[in-house]
Amino acid sequence: MKGSRLRAALTPYLLILPGGLWLAIFFVVPMIVMLSLSLQSGNIVDGFAFTWNWRNYLDGIANHHDQMIRSIGYGLAATVITIVVGFPVAYWIAFRGGRRKNMYLLLLLMPFLVSFVLRTISWQFFLADDGVLLGPLKRIGLLPEDFHILATGTAVVLGLAYNFLPFMVLPIYVALERIDPRILEAAADLYANRVQTFLRVVLPLSLPGVFAGVLMTFVPACSDYVNASILGGASNTMIGNVIQNQYLVTQDYPVAAALSFTLMAVLLIGIFAYARALGSEEVLEVTAR
Amino acid sequence: MNTLERAAAGPRKNAPRRRRPGRRGAFFRGRLLHIWTWLVIAWLFLPIAVMILFGFNDTRGRYNQTWQGFTLRWYGELFAISDLTVALVNSLLIALLTMLIAGVLGTLIGLALGRYRFRGSGLMKLVMFAAISCAEIIMGASLLSMFVTLAVPLGFWTIVISHVMFSVSFVAVTVRARVMVVDRSIEEAARDLGASSWETFRLVTFPMIFPGVLAGSLLAFALSIDDFVITNFVSGGTVTFPLWIYGATRVGIPPQVNVMGTLIFAVGVLIAVLNAFGGRRGGT
């Protein structure tokens, strides 16, 4: 009897052991290694040594603060666009989708069965200077010959918004779907008009979804470099491009690691500031639960 | 339950119907939102349509930019570019291995979190939440930092390791959502009727949570085959499908890429539709 109780107590630990170890070794430990690497000095030829080299952070920020600020700006712009574009869609599907809700969700997700890189390249192709869209418009004289969309910040932001839209729509949809229709009826019975109902009932109840959506859109958008390198030009590089280049091309690992940590810190501070601004540990709890 | 689980659980059943909007203004607003939804869907599908269309383009060489006429040639010469084929095979193999490993590990975690209350479950959830919301570039950079520090040779297996790492939490979350809605009294009935705990699991529990396991594993496959950022960091000399395409942007994307993208898309759509259809039949 005692043995079986012990076994019952151990079962959940045995169940999480393999996956937990995998996450510990390949997610948690690498973070610690990267933290250590960011404080090392040396070069790829002579090797690196741990020296509490805080200069990596100062150098990284001094040399790349333009890209850092641009990344945050692009990430914010893309996130705002996904909210503006995605909220009405989530609202319509949740409240008016009827029996076709699943079909609409499927339609929203379907394009994402095509590889992220391939979708972005397809946009590059579509928006090319003499491509499918701009070519004919230029030929009939609607646009000047030197008009271009590619290699601009607009192209990068639109690419980001496109690629991360479902991460915004789905959580908002889930939050709206959970709203009990009786609450809306109660609001109407209490003489709230539709605008008031939306602003004072629907919107507050959708905030946890918006928060989750922002988390899942802003973080990947800020740290992306695929859109910037395919749709952007030399003046649109983001911090991701710098980190990628430092790791894989110049192999200046300590500065690259320091930049990665700086980016992570900026994102975490941004998220917590946003959570506080929404006035809620509650919101964090809802998403984390 | 977090958002992912709720999304996986699908819309609530038996939700009372909303009152139909009676007034004209409300009618038009509903209409506008409907049109908006379809416009957004059109926006999402636009690059896919372009990709599919130019897989049929009778282009010369690799410069597949202007429409030259319809051809099925690229479907016939799908595997004519050998290193592209190798990349696709690599991607499929990696995705399959990821699906199997992350599927098993994630199912075990999902079972533990959905079924048992135990010390440390909060920590496990926190780590999973961090892994799900962590920026990909940070995960890629930290993995490369570790592999470089320990002088681990980069290649096929470092890619598999990384893919399992970032997809296992998604599987766990999906399975947990399923475990939590399963009726435990059925298991108790099985035990009362004399089934051993292994028999109960094999014959009762597992079939009941299988939809969650399947959905989670397919999600792991999809995440793996699509991944670019982390793979780019840990791939060494091994090339996957997204890496090959990315590398080819400077020299031109051959139409075979469009065809492969189209075929992967078609298979994905087929699975998704079958899943939705099967799910509806199972639900009623």
Integer Cα distance of B142 and B148 in angstroms: 10
CB B1 to CB A95 under 8 A?
Answer: no
pLDDT value, residue B239: 96
What's the domain range around A39? 13-53
Say if residue A47 is in the same domain as residue A73. no
Please give, rounded to a whole number of angstroms, the shortest distance from the CA of A112 to a CA of chain B: 9
Tell me whether residue B95 is in a domain: yes
Considering only the beta carbons, identify the residue of B1, B127, B164 that sits closest to A28. Answer: B127
Tell me whether residue B63 is in a domain: no
User: For residue B255, which of B43, B71, B47 has the smallest C-alpha distance?
Assistant: B71
Tell me whether residue A127 is in a domain: yes
Please give, rounded to a whole number of angstroms, the shortest distance from the CA of B38 to a CA of chain A: 9
Say if residue A177 is in the same domain as residue A211. yes
* A5: pLDDT strictly greater than 90: no
* A190: pLDDT strictly greater than 50: yes
Say if residue A182 is in the same domain as residue A228. yes
Residue-averaged pLDDT of chain A: 88
**What's this model's pTM, rounded to 2 decimal places?**
0.87
The CATH number of the domain holding residue B89 is 1.10.3720.10
pLDDT value, residue A224: 94
Integer Cα distance of A108 and A152 in angstroms: 27
Integer Cα distance of A181 and A186 in angstroms: 9
Please give, rounded to a whole number of angstroms, the shortest distance from the CA of B219 to a CA of chain A: 11
Q: How many structural domains comprise chain A?
A: 2
* Selected residue of B48, B92, B108, B145 to mutate for chain A interface (largest A Cβ count, 10 A): B145
Considering only the beta carbons, identify the residue of B6, B37, B51 that sits closest to A174. Answer: B6
Integer Cα distance of A252 and A37 in angstroms: 10
Phi, psi of B111 (to 5 degrees): -60, -45
Residues in chain A closer than 8 A to B143 (CB atoms): 26, 30
CB A34 to CB B145 under 8 A?
Answer: yes
Question: A129-144 burial string, b = 16+ CB within 10 Å, else e?
Answer: eebbbbeeebeeeeee
* A250: pLDDT strictly greater than 70: yes
Tell me whether residue B14 is in a domain: no
Say if residue A72 is in the same domain as residue A204. yes
Residues in chain B closer than 8 A to A127 (CB atoms): none
Tell me whether residue A106 is in a domain: yes
Q: At what angle do helices B121-133 and B156-181 cross, to 10 degrees?
A: 120
Instruction: Please answer whether residues B198 and B80 qualify as being in contact, where contact means their C-beta atoms are separated by less than 8 angstroms.
Output: no
Integer Cα distance of B28 and B189 in angstroms: 54
Tell me whether residue A40 is in a domain: yes
Q: How many structural domains comprise chain B?
A: 1
Tell me how many residue pairs between chain A and chain B have CB atoms under 8 A apart: 268
pLDDT value, residue B284: 33
Residues in chain B closer than 8 A to A175 (CB atoms): 3
Integer Cα distance of B277 and A128 in angstroms: 39
A66-101, pLDDT tens digit by residue?
999 999 999 999 999 999 999 999 999 998 888 888
Tell me whether residue A8 is in a domain: no
pLDDT value, residue A158: 95
Phi-psi region of B20 (alpha: psi -120 to 50; beta: other; left: phi over 0): beta
Tell me whether residue B219 is in a domain: yes
The chain B residue lying nearest A22, using CA atoms, is B165
CB B121 to CB A13 under 8 A?
Answer: no
Instruction: Please answer whether residues B164 and B217 qualify as being in contact, where contact means their C-beta atoms are separated by less than 8 angstroms.
Output: no
Residues in chain A closer than 8 A to B36 (CB atoms): 88-89, 92
Please give, rounded to a whole number of angstroms, the shortest distance from the CA of B10 to a CA of chain A: 8
CB B2 to CB A170 under 8 A?
Answer: no
Among A180-189, A269-278, B140-149, B163-172, the minimum mean pLDDT is found in A269-278
Say if residue A71 is in the same domain as residue A41. no
Tell me whether residue B126 is in a domain: yes
Q: How far apart are the first and last CA of chain B?
A: 24
CB B273 to CB A106 under 8 A?
Answer: yes
CB B135 to CB A121 under 8 A?
Answer: no
CB B116 to CB A11 under 8 A?
Answer: yes
Instruction: Please answer whether residues B8 and B174 qualify as being in contact, where contact means their C-beta atoms are separated by less than 8 angstroms.
Output: yes
pLDDT value, residue B154: 96
CB A182 to CB B16 under 8 A?
Answer: yes
The CATH number of the domain holding residue A228 is 1.10.3720.10
β partners of residue A50 = A40
User: For residue A120, which of B106, B163, B245 has the smallest C-alpha distance?
Assistant: B245
Instruction: Please answer whether residues A176 and A96 qualify as being in contact, where contact means their C-beta atoms are separated by less than 8 angstroms.
Output: no
Say if residue A47 is in the same domain as residue A70. no
CB A34 to CB B130 under 8 A?
Answer: no
Residues in chain A closer than 8 A to B3 (CB atoms): 170-171, 174-175, 209, 212, 287
Integer Cα distance of B226 and B218 in angstroms: 12
A142-153, pLDDT tens digit by residue?
888 888 889 899
Say if residue A33 is in the same domain as residue A107. no
Tell me whether residue B21 is in a domain: no
User: For residue A209, which of A180, A160, A270, A168 has the smallest C-alpha distance?
Assistant: A168
What's the domain range around B199? 82-253
Q: What is the mean pLDDT of each run of 10 residues along chain B (284 residues)?
A: 48 47 54 92 94 88 75 88 94 97 97 91 92 93 94 96 96 94 89 89 92 93 93 94 91 89 91 72 42
Residues in chain A closer than 8 A to B33 (CB atoms): 88-89, 91-92, 96
Q: In terms of pLDDT, which residue wins out, A282 or B164?
A: B164
Say if residue A125 is in the same domain as residue A249. yes
Instruction: Please answer whether residues B134 and A28 qualify as being in contact, where contact means their C-beta atoms are separated by less than 8 angstroms.
Output: no
Integer Cα distance of B40 and A52 in angstroms: 50
Tell me whether residue B229 is in a domain: yes
Integer Cα distance of A114 and A123 in angstroms: 13
A33-78, pLDDT tens digit by residue?
999 999 998 877 777 888 888 889 998 899 999 999 999 999 999 9
State the burial class of residue B112 (Cβ atoms within 10 Å of its Cβ: 0-12, 13-18, 19+).
buried
Instruction: Please answer whether residues B36 and A89 qualify as being in contact, where contact means their C-beta atoms are separated by less than 8 angstroms.
Output: yes
CB B2 to CB A18 under 8 A?
Answer: no
Integer Cα distance of B284 and B280 in angstroms: 7
Say if residue A40 is in the same domain as residue A78. no
Tell me whether residue B213 is in a domain: yes
